[in-house]
Amino acid sequence: MRHKTERCIAYSVVPLGATLQLLLTGEPEELYTCCDDTQGHGETVADYPRQIRNLLENVYNVCKKEGFSNQAAMMCQFFIADISKSELVRQIASEIFQNAPGAVTFIPQPPASGKVLAVEIWAIAERYPGKHQVNVTTPLPGQVTIAEFDGMRWFFGGSFRSEPLPVGAYARSLSAFQQLEKQLKKNKFKLGETVRTWIYQGHLVLPEGQTQRYKELNRARTDFFAATRFLKRYLPAKFQGGVYPASTGIGTDDMDVVIGAVAVDSKRKDIIAVPLENPNQTSAFDYGAVYSPQSPKFARAMAVASPVGSFIFISGTASITHSESRYPEDPVRQTEQTLDNIAALISGENLAAHGIDGFQSCLENLECARVYVKRSGDLEGIRNVCERRLQDVPIIYTIADVCRPELLVEIEGFAVVNKDE
């Protein structure tokens, strides 16, 4: 089995081409608490330093055991209940790992378990030690990592935020996208080579003036992407349709926006990168104006395939068929429908329909997943469905707002598929 669990750390180790890919999720082992007597009341509070240290030490031990060095991490997302503690996480991480663990993003979403933080890490190692077929550099420590392997050059970026001055969801979202593009250019990538984005927006469904914060985010994304043709070098000849990166737009507990992204560049002629759409869903960029005057510009998933295998970046997915929400007020059936959508999206039949032949894929090929739960009281039912259908796939559960009031759960994931698997 490539999925493993050790001391509240769940992870997958996947051989692919010249690499071993590590996808890891984790939480502290216990709800460690301490007595806070600063107000004279002796209140019991979460012991942040102990929980953080316990989690990161366990992560370090797993990475060491599996042969992933300190320099192996490409992306690291911390889901944290109190964003003011992010500097404490940085300090303890730098002490344990002796450097920043890849492109880091701090996301103000509380883990659904009640613990103070959770982590998701994507790391890489040489499959054949001594061959020097993998190269990882950090041109901007803690924010940008570049990984080169199998004739591909990958950009991993996190924590892209607005410049200080813009005010409002539209202006701040636009500025954050501009910071992403600036770093792409600095590292010799183009915006059109972006395959995946994560957009974390504070209180995304709150009103903003006469509209909504999420709708303003969509307007900014539409305007920013307007002049860009994505992935034209890699599209199959028979591909037709809109081309946008895979993406998740999800709520957080603050009022700002932060963006993470992945991009790929290669001179190989046998690389295919194609956005996947679900045959049972309307493309998000074709949604009617009732959902947003400027429709969300993202693909349901993005597949990057080569002769050695395929990465599939699965966008935030919910209980929607065609363009309509299904099973309002029923979190269990929404979870089932969401996983049905993901299974249809990444199936071998759907890959072939998009011009990617020779790959078979299903939910078992997920190497990690995130489950965003709107209401904490729904967690048990949602988790039961996920554990039954995804079994031992590494999963993080967080409490987060979803883009429509009636949607109670959203799931995203990452799959690695070898040829004819």
Amino acid identity at 237: A
Report DSSP state, residue 221: H
What pLDDT, on the 0 to 100 scale, is given for residue 287?
57
What pLDDT, on the 0 to 100 scale, is given for residue 308?
86
State the average pLDDT over residues 155-162.
97
Domain 1-35+44-137: assigned CATH number: 3.30.1330.40
Amino acid identity at 421: E
Structural contact between residues 230 and 298, judged by C-beta atoms closer than 8 angstroms: no
What is the residue-wise DSSP string for 262-285? Answer: EEEEE--SS-EEEEE--TTB--GG
Q: What global pTM score does this model have? A: 0.95
Q: What value does the mean pLDDT of the chain take?
A: 92
- What is the spatial distance between Cα 5 and Cα 12, in angstroms, rounded to a whole number? 9
pLDDT by residue (tens digit) across 241-280?
779 999 999 999 988 999 999 999 999 999 999 999 998 8
Q: How confident is the model at residue 403 (pLDDT cuts 50, 70, 90)?
A: confident
Q: How confident is the model at residue 237 (pLDDT cuts 50, 70, 90)?
A: confident
- What is the spatial distance between Cα 239 and Cα 52, in angstroms, rounded to a whole number? 46
Burial class, 89, CB count within 10 angstroms (exposed 0-12 / middle 13-18 / buried 19+): buried
Measured CA angle at 125 (ends 117, 260), to 5 deg: 45
Residue 317 Cα distances to 44, 50, 256, 280, 410, angstroms: 38, 34, 23, 12, 5
Q: Strands 194-202 and 246-252: what pairing?
A: parallel
- Each as own residue / partner, the long-range contacts of residues 209-212 (CB below 8 Å, 24 or more positions apart, any chain) are 211/293
Q: How confident is the model at residue 97 (pLDDT cuts 50, 70, 90)?
A: confident
Could you tell me the residue ranges of all domains in the chain? 1-35+44-137
pLDDT by residue (tens digit) across 329-365?
999 999 999 999 999 999 999 999 998 888 888 898 9
Q: Which strands make up the sheet holding 19-26, listed edge to edge? A: 3-6, 9-16, 19-26, 117-126, 73-80, 103-107
